[in-house]
């Protein structure tokens, strides 16, 4: 799906208007179908959704009737559900996104197996010449204390040289991709006498920084689990960029649930029984060190980082 076809689709969808008896979120309706840019060529679009904060409350109260309709009491109940991890009421809401993202982020993203996904197929269509190149400030070295994290940003000259290499490699593999399909740069047939390689084979050499697209539908509970991991400061920058926009979407869609989520999940922390014991000892004025805590050095660092 090209960007122009997406823009044409958005124009058509925005011109439509429906009356409904279903609950709607006015703030989310304002951005429905819109392109929300991410990274250099990526985006997120909200395509459809079901439910609102009241839907969560309704599901939680089903066992004892109608209940109340005061927003303050709804917020209190949602806070209780979030605090005590009563998850099923949150599963009653769903949302569907159209997402454009680099393939290497898609492969990381798909590890969250609790969604419904339908991805753009390079077996049937030709991928656009769009690839992701990090900015200078995001060209970082390997973190020495973590096998999967980034350390400090590389010196500017080194970063720019590596960016040049990444760009040249991406340009080269796309040129070879087109040639294997028997196409020129404009997508026209090079030699009518020759048959191009099958699309399902021609895609093999494309690098992981090329962009793909998919429709991704997920319920609210599993969306929050995704965001609790991918909007975390330790998450990879590129996937975190998508998660942060999705957090803003969550705030528009379900403001009470978003507030509870930010308070208890994103802004909160979970303690082990040993951790709870340490807090009790500290509250009594006892001096506690890593050696006397019963925690490993890594656990101690993580706990102190959250409290100091």
Beta-sheet pairing, 42-50 with 36-38: antiparallel
Is residue 27 within 8 Å of 229, Cβ to Cβ?
no
* Active-site annotation holds for 230: yes
What gap in Å lies between CA 154 and CA 37, rounded to an integer? Answer: 26
∠ at Cα 261 (138, 114), nearest 5°? 75
Reported as half-sphere exposure (CB side, CA atoms, 13 A), residue 234 has a value of 8
Going by C-alpha positions, the residue among 84, 37, 26, 56 that lies closest to residue 258 is: 56
Bridge partner list, 276: none
Paired tokens of 63: 């066992």
Q: Is 15 helix (H, G, I), strand (E, B) or coil?
A: helix
Q: How far is CA 57 from the centre of its chain?
A: 26
The one catalytic residue in 113, 230, 240, 265 is 230
What number of other Cβ atoms are within 10 A of residue 236's Cβ? Answer: 14
Compute the Cα dihedral for 82, 85, 89, 95 and give only its sign: positive
Q: Is 258 helix (H, G, I), strand (E, B) or coil?
A: helix
Give catalytic residue positions: 230
């Amino acid at each position: 799906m090209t960007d122009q076809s997406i823009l044409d689709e958005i124009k058509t969808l925005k011109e439509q208007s429906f009356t409904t008896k279903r609950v709607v979120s006015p703030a989310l309706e304002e951005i429905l179908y819109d392109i929300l840019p991410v990274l250099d060529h990526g985006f997120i679009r909200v395509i459809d959704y079901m439910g609102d904060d009241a839907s969560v409350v309704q599901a939680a109260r089903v066992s004892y009737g109608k209940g109340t309709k005061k927003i303050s009491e709804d917020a209190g109940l949602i806070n209780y559900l979030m605090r005590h991890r009563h998850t099923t009421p949150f599963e009653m809401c769903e949302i569907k996104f159209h997402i454009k993202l680099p393939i290497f982020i898609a492969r990381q993203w798909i590890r969250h197996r609790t969604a419904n996904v339908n991805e753009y197929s390079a077996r049937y269509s030709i991928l656009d010449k769009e690839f992701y190149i990090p900015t200078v400030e995001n060209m970082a070295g390997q973190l020495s204390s973590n096998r999967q994290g980034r350390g400090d940003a590389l010196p500017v000259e080194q970063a720019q040289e590596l960016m040049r290499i990444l760009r040249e490699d991406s340009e080269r593999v796309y040129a070879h991709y087109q040639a294997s399909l028997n196409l020129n740069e404009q997508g026209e047939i090079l030699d009518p006498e020759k048959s191009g390689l099958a699309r399902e084979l021609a895609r093999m050499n494309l690098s992981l920084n090329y962009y793909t697209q998919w429709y991704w539908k997920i319920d609210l509970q599993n969306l929050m689990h995704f965001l609790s991991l991918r909007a975390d400061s330790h998450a990879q920058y590129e996937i975190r960029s998508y998660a942060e926009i999705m957090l803003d979407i969550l705030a528009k869609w379900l403001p009470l649930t978003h507030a509870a989520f930010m308070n208890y999940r994103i802004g909160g922390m979970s303690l082990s029984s040993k951790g709870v014991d340490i807090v009790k000892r500290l509250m009594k004025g006892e001096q506690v060190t890593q050696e006397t805590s019963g925690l490993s050095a890594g656990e101690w660092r993580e706990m102190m980082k959250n409290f100091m």
